Structure 1
């Protein structure tokens, strides 16, 4: 029996990835100019970044319970396995909603093979896990093998990122207004990471050149075996910088497999234009 992988739009994968690996995608919702848009389907990230540059503040909301219930019910009725590696429960209520609907559907279909997993990951960090799960499903791996791999990679996925303007993090409640004002005034660039699914400030760097070098140093300190793993880079409408990072990774670490994608509308609504994030498996990964 085939195993289907479900992704939410916060994984920031492209339509090509969904098509190539037969991944089903469920969108979060983006609110802009009093209109609602399905992330990844009805609005492009560039529109969000342009709006934010104009001073607008887009909002987001999680996937609705009914959407999950409809999807899960269809797989239960067709007796097909569905595995959903979800956006971090610390960053969105989407996982909790999906888990609630999984339990509700299983009350009517107790034998339904539906599996909702909290990855504690976001953006291409989540996307890399989705791709690995989909590769395994395509190759005919067992349910247990896929779930074990998702769980293991989720535990060891590093997220190291920076934002161009602390104001966007302030709007999202991630830093105080004073910190945002002072950071912008002094041209301080924050480095953040994800720990146990939460967004945690790591360091503050003054100047873009120092920032790049420091992010490479952190990658060197935390990562391993870059030649034999896929590295992810996501960017907030700054492909040029993302490509520069990719060349540095190839030169410094011998990296060969690098996925570059734009941060999607849902995550971008909080991070803002100019965001650069790198994702890789840490040195505890074996």
Structure 2
């Protein structure tokens, strides 16, 4: 069993607070990377149709011997497949590649506002939830305006919004909106692709605790209440990223404030308002 704590989503489902991401990992390497992660104690794996490695994730899960009920599997609908019928078809494809009969979390990958299809797409996801093939529905990269429109058009509140979030891009307005509607904040690019790791404030905290800068940033996320999905293909780094729990490693209020002061609006990925 994993020692990672869980966060309870707004439908009562529990998600491990720290999971394993496979963005930009080739399919053939994904199987090995996920196997290492499962061995290290990860039980949540986050993939997406556009990553092209759902099959690699599925192979690792099947070979792991970890009971399905202990696993939390997330995948995402790609932009080109938005719309009611095409969402249902794309979900079938993802499920077949993963080799599963359901996923634990299904996300709309980007709002792509110019397409104006995310409301219809959400209706299809509501159908998948009603059919029991998706345990929990959520979104990714939704800005406040996109979220509010979804909330106004559906009774199903997204359980998660997975967004770019790290010390240099803290998204306070969005996190406040999430808190208001019991939507969990999940951070992708939690380390800003390494861009924040050399910051003197983070380095000083790391030195004090005898931890790496990456572990300090992950610990900051966890203490904020974020779900976080760091990615690595290096076995040592995979183990290091999950070694952030336990009573001996807690950031003080002052340390949390010093990381909070690093926000500078730095995006490492696209802007959700303009990506279409």
TM-score under structure 2 length normalisation: 0.32
Structure with the higher strand share, 1 or 2: 1
**Greater Rg over alpha carbons, structure:** 1
Taking CA–CA contacts closer than 8 Å with sequence separation of 6 or more, which of the two structures ends up with the larger relative contact order?
1
